Structure 1
Amino acid sequence: MRWMLIPMLLFAAVMMTGCVYEYTEEDGYRMAVINEGFPVPKNAYELKPADCTSEIAKSAKYKLKGIGDEEGTPPADYLEEIQRWGWNELEDKRVGHVHYFEKKGKIMSLIIQENVFDVFEMSDDVEL
């Protein structure tokens, strides 16, 4: 019985390393760690965020395969989900793959890159 335990553990370890966090709309969304009212894909893996600056009050960085293409274009259904949570995109403020959203005077920034995205809660005194 013991001789079977080692191969089973090795097999389990190989299977677990093959798991990939990948974007799918069906997996749903959860609250961002920096703002309970801002959605992030449920299966996004949190990384060490960038340091905050005078313009950024809080930041979070996530890794998720398929979240953005080479140009940093986010999935349309993710943008729709953000709007369903009550955030309005400030489309006139968008710069490349940097999106800004506003809700009740709070401004969030979403930066999408290929397989990685950042969420920033902007400082209250920031002028866009």
Structure 2
Amino acid sequence: MPHLSSLTIVVRDYDEAIEFYTKAMDFELLEDEQRSPGKRWVRLRPRGAGEYGCAILLGKAKNDEQAAYIGRQTGGRVAFLLHVENFDAYYENLMRYDIKIARPPSVEDFGKVMVFEDLYGNLWDLIEPAQGR
């Protein structure tokens, strides 16, 4: 079955990114392997997403050109949409880590949603889909 397995996020530091995504966003660390000096293969995905859930692959910027894209990979647009079953619980966890809110929570036809920034400024939609969606 074809599916997206991973999407790359350019990061400054592997360990700070792992800490953020595993704690503030409650992702599970799938792989963390040293590939060469300064390069690791690090994949995480939302806890409970299952084996076909799309993961994020952390790619450490290796030069100034790549570093310039940290937090700007999508040109200021929302980069990722994260669906959750319990918006309020997920929101509370994010707030424990002082996450920057780009658009406050609201209820739309499609569900409850807000936009927040990860530690690098990438924009994420947090969505609890409406019943039947």
> What TM-score do the two structures reach when normalised by structure 1?
0.31
> What TM-score do the two structures reach when normalised by structure 2?
0.30
Larger radius of gyration: 1
Write 1 or 2 for the structure with the bigger share of helix. Answer: 1
Write 1 or 2 for the structure with the bigger share of strand. Answer: 2
